[in-house]
Amino acid sequence: MASRGFASEGRRVLRDPLLLGVITVLWLLLALFVLYPLTVLMVRAFSDEGRLTIEPLMTSLGDSSHRAAFFNSLILAATVGVLGTLLGFLFALTATRTGLGRRWLTLLDAAALLPLVSPPFTTSIAIIFSFGPKGFISHHLLGFDNVSAYGFVSTALAETLTYFPIAYLTLRPIIAAIDPNLEEMAFSLGGSRWRIFRTVTVPLAIPGFANAFLLLFAASLADFATPLILAGNSFPVLPTQAYLQITGMFDFKGGAVLSLMLLVPAAVVYLLQRYWVGRRTYVTVTGKVGQRSRTRAIAPWASVALVVATVLVAVSILYFYALLVFASAVVAFGANNSFTWHHYAVIFTEGVPAIRDTLIIALIGMPLGGLYGVLVGYLIARRRFPGRQAMEIVSMVNYALPGTIVGIAYLIAFNDPPIALTGGAMIIVACYVFRYSPTGIRATVALLSQIDRSLEEASSSLGAGSGETFRRVTLPLIAPAFFAGLGVVFIRSMTAISATIFLVSLSWTLITVRILENMTEMALGPAAAFSVFVIVVVFAVVSVLSAILARLRTATAGAAARSLLGG
């Protein structure tokens, strides 16, 4: 039966040349930019003079400094996972249970999501400005002169503030979906508010906690920039060790082995995350529409405490970014606070190549990533063909792996003939598209699962081909997923560094690389100015994309209304 079904699917694909062509092209691209680099990385790491061996891995494991970096990476990731999940839960509970108005929720979301649209080391810069030798808090407010802003604590703090919005976005819909009637019934039966919270609310949100923790664990495990700036030699982690192995010692094999040491925890985290996401029932939801914003299960004083705690965190985040803006507009923060445009003059003269290259790469990668995301998502959700599940898994590989592994794999695979692409823009664009477009893929699959297949079947029955049906029926319906893919690829093109730092060259560089160079040279003013520029550009582009999507939704709704009225 299975073989007949497989043969039937194969014949159906062969009868549709356009579908066959799209599937073939996508598989060729996945083979070239996903499977091939990882295969070359594995061969380089586990081969010695033409024979396979695990000796390089055993040598790395036998090195005490490498073992320490490995366990440091796990400790840091676990700490960020726990703290970030708790902070995300605090924000989610405040947003869904305290009855905040729409305006306050908008401000809360803006403060919480700000770190996600910033370069990953923006918070690191602000921490140095706050707690460094001449820091605003450590020196000017508290009067301490010999304070270090480097080490495990500052690195964990920076990563927690950077990544906790992921936990917030994960937990908020789950807590909002918990039927308040369950809490109300427990309250009416005499349960104390603390008991209800502990035995009803928290257990129903446990899958969300697990998913948020795993996402934050993976994000921290893959973070390269923050530990490089803040951890230093006092708390080495594996991504920075691999980077220094390649850039400092030009040891490609050593860097490959070190990066692959992250594969085991990364793979475990990815499989666990897929398990939790794949669970169909997160909470018990009734058919009634209840008040989602506030229940008696949250005491008035607890609501006040939640709001105060959330506001304090939000103000801290806004303080860091205000400090960044201020530092970008003074001569030397902490030493000479006279106003100047010098740092912006530097980035708009010496930094123009990096700005130009970054915008070109982002504007090329954005439409390619959006189209790739909806095509793969559409094929996975709507078409049955041999290798469909394999395509889904392979398309998610680069997204699941730490950026250091992807960057080193691309460097090794495309540095020499027969496919020498390093040093050009194409390899950076490919890295962004195949690493960050899975967001658009998952969004497309989620949207299509809510759209009745009969719409596309009606188009096909009227004689439209698969291409015309996709263009005129499916694509307008999945426009939100397309724009989600556009936005994510653009944001990451402007802010990511962990993978692409291995791929820049004298011909093509990136703003994030220039920021990192400025940080290592202690040119903090230009680093702050670059960061402010990136934030402004990202917010501007995301606002334009949101406006376009809103107009498309209005136009689609209007067309649907006219068709229903017979106009």
Q: Classify residue 483 as exposed, middle or buried by CB count within 10 Å of its CB (0-12, 13-18, 19+).
A: buried
Residues whose CB falls within 8 Å of the CB of residue 522, separated by 6 or more in sequence, listed in order: none
Place of tokens 């996402």: 215
Q: Average pLDDT in the 22-33 region? A: 93
Query: What is the separation, in whole angstroms, between the first and last Cα of the chain?
Result: 49
Mean pLDDT of 466-482: 68
Under a CB-based contact definition with an 8 Å cutoff, are residues 180 and 93 in contact? no
Q: Which of 80-84, 183-187, 215-219, 559-563 has the lowest mean pLDDT?
A: 559-563
Highest mean pLDDT among 61-70, 262-271, 407-416: 407-416
Helices (H), 31-101: 36-45, 55-62, 64-97
- The per-residue DSSP string of 188-204 comes to HTT--HHHHIIIIIHHH
449: DSSP letter: T
174-188 mean pLDDT:
63
Run of H or E residues at 47: strand 47-48
Q: Give the chain's mean pLDDT.
A: 79
The mean per-residue pLDDT over the stretch 277-299 comes to 48
For residue 125 the two structure tokens come to 């810069």
Do β-strands 330-332 and 47-48 pair in parallel, antiparallel, or remain unpaired?
unpaired
Is it true that the peptide bond before 236 is cis, omega within 30 degrees of 0?
Answer: no
Kindly indicate the confidence band of residue 167, based on its pLDDT and cuts at 50, 70 and 90. Answer: confident
Whole-number pLDDT of residue 294: 46
Q: Is-contact 211 199, C-beta < 8 A?
A: no
Average pLDDT of the segment spanning 76-100? 87
**Stretch 86-100: mean pLDDT, rounded?**
84
Most confident range (mean pLDDT) of 305-309, 432-436, 450-454 is: 432-436
Domains of the chain: 1-44+344-567 (1.10.3720.10)
Query: What residues does 47 pair with on adjacent strands?
Result: 52
Between CA 546 and CA 165 the distance in angstroms is: 20
For residues 270 and 400, is the Cβ–Cβ distance under 8 A? yes
Give the per-residue pLDDT at 506: 80
Alpha carbon distance 265, 390 (integer Å): 22
Contact indicator for 42, 53 with CB cutoff of 8 Å: no
Residue that the structure tokens 């602000």 belong to:
126
Burial class (CB in 10 A: 0-12, 13-18, 19+), 123: buried
Q: Please tell me the least confidently modeled range out of 49-58, 187-196, 527-536.
A: 187-196
pLDDT exceeds cutoff 80 at 61:
no
Provide the residue count of the chain.
Answer: 567
Sign of CA dihedral 230, 233, 239, 245: positive
Q: Give Cα 226 distance to the centre of its chain.
A: 15
The predicted pLDDT at position 291 comes to 44
pLDDT surpasses 60 at 207:
yes
Where would I find the beta strands (DSSP E) of 108-182?
none
Name the more confident of 427 and 565.
427
Give the residue with greater pLDDT, 185 vs 355.
355
The helix, strand and coil proportions of the chain, stated in percent and rounded to the nearest 5, come to: 75, 0, 20
Q: Please give the residue that has the higher pLDDT: either 99 or 379.
A: 379
- pLDDT, residue 365, reads 92
- 196 pLDDT tier (thresholds 50, 70, 90): low
pLDDT at residue 537, as a whole number: 93
Q: How far apart are CA 369 and CA 395, in angstroms?
A: 12
294, β-bridge pairs? 98
Query: Quick one: which H or E segment has residue 330?
Result: strand 330-332
pLDDT of residue 8: 57
Using an 8 Å Cβ cutoff, are 90 and 308 in contact? Answer: no
Look at 79 and 255; give whichever has higher pLDDT.
Answer: 79
pLDDT value at residue 415: 87
With a cut of 70, say whether residue 458 has pLDDT above it. no
Task: Evaluate if residue 73 carries a pLDDT over 70.
Answer: yes
Dist. CA 126–CA 527, nearest whole Å? 11
| Position 361 confidence tier, pLDDT thresholds 50, 70, 90 | very high
pLDDT value at 282 more than 60: no
* CA–CA distance, 223 with 217 (Å, rounded to integer): 10
pLDDT band at 457 (very low <50, low <70, confident <90, very high): low
Residue with the larger pLDDT of the pair 444 and 276 = 444
Q: Average pLDDT of 331-348?
A: 88
Residue 140 pLDDT > 50, yes or no?
A: yes
Distances 495 to 177, 189, 288, 535, 540 between C-alpha atoms, Å: 32, 51, 43, 9, 14
Q: Identify the residue with better confidence: 2 or 35.
A: 35
